[in-house]
Amino acid sequence: MKNPTAAMLVIGDEILSGRTRDSNMHHLAVQLNAHGIDLKEARVVSDDTAAIVAAVRALAGAYDHVFTSGGIGPTHDDITADAIAEAFGVGIGVRDDAKAVLLGFLEARGAEATPARLRMARIPDGATLIDNPISAAPGFTLQNVHVCAGVPRIFEAMVASVLSTIVLGEPMLSQSFRVDLPEGDIAAPLADLAARFPELSIGSYPFNKDGVSGANIVVRGHDGAAVNEVMVELGHLFAEATS
């Protein structure tokens, strides 16, 4: 069985201007990896309808799942829900279930149900809601696109909620082996290993720390026995250069 594939779409000028450092991509990568879903691609686009529509169409067509983050708040620059509806050619409007959730939350806090806030109950036709345990305004899933908030705490809760409802794959097994030799010295034996174990991903990540040039060799795959076999071979190959 092949694992499901996924892509991420981060929406927001604030990432591309350097004002904010995105952390949702890393969180999603770790979560998907642990749940057996292969994250194949990520994109960041600005708060621009045409850019969002084009990216959603490209990614939804190429992968089993697309997770988006950002652009579903109450302000004028929050245009994600409308862009998703446009990408799939469906209508969008305030939906009773989303509105009820929102009104309950606002009422409990004595906050006014302004037209801006009610915009957050606008949901594309045919979507199912994603629970927001923190500030009520829901995300939604339309076809294979899971539309989540950008605020990290809310994004993380929404991802957990989506992961509890979709078909998962086999988690990737990963082991790491540190070699205190520059990459140029280990490249040839590593290439041999990679050719002999084509079902595994063998990556080399160089570092330079306290004057030592080395590399972390990361072996990833679904077959635990094969991963272990490579780890043993790495031990033999570089017995004198580990620490």
Q: Which residues bind its own copies (CB under 8 A)?
A: 13-22, 25-26, 29-33, 39-47, 51, 73-77, 106, 111-112, 114-117, 119, 135, 151, 172, 174, 182-188, 190-191, 194-195, 201-206, 208, 215, 218, 220
CA atoms of 132 and 160, how far apart (whole Å)? 11
Nearer of residues 17 and 243 to its own copies, judged by Cβ: 17
CA atoms of 8 and 203, how far apart (whole Å)? 22
CA atoms of 81 and 56, how far apart (whole Å)? 12
CA atoms of 66 and 30, how far apart (whole Å)? 15
User: To the nearest whole angstrom, how small is the minimum distance from the Cβ of residue 126 to its own copies?
Assistant: 26
Nearer of residues 21 and 236 to its own copies, judged by Cβ: 21
Environment class of 54 (CB within 10 Å of its CB; exposed 0-12, middle 13-18, buried 19+) = middle
Nearer of residues 123 and 179 to its own copies, judged by Cβ: 179
Nearer of residues 91 and 115 to its own copies, judged by Cβ: 115
User: To the nearest whole angstrom, how small is the minimum distance from the Cβ of residue 4 to its own copies?
Assistant: 14
Nearer of residues 124 and 221 to its own copies, judged by Cβ: 221
Q: Which residues pair with 10 in a beta bridge?
A: 44, 69
CA atoms of 196 and 172, how far apart (whole Å)? 19
User: To the nearest whole angstrom, how small is the minimum distance from the Cβ of residue 228 to its own copies?
Assistant: 19
DSSP codes of every residue in 199-240: TSEEEEEEEEETTEEEEEEEEEES-HHHHHHHHHHHHHHTGG
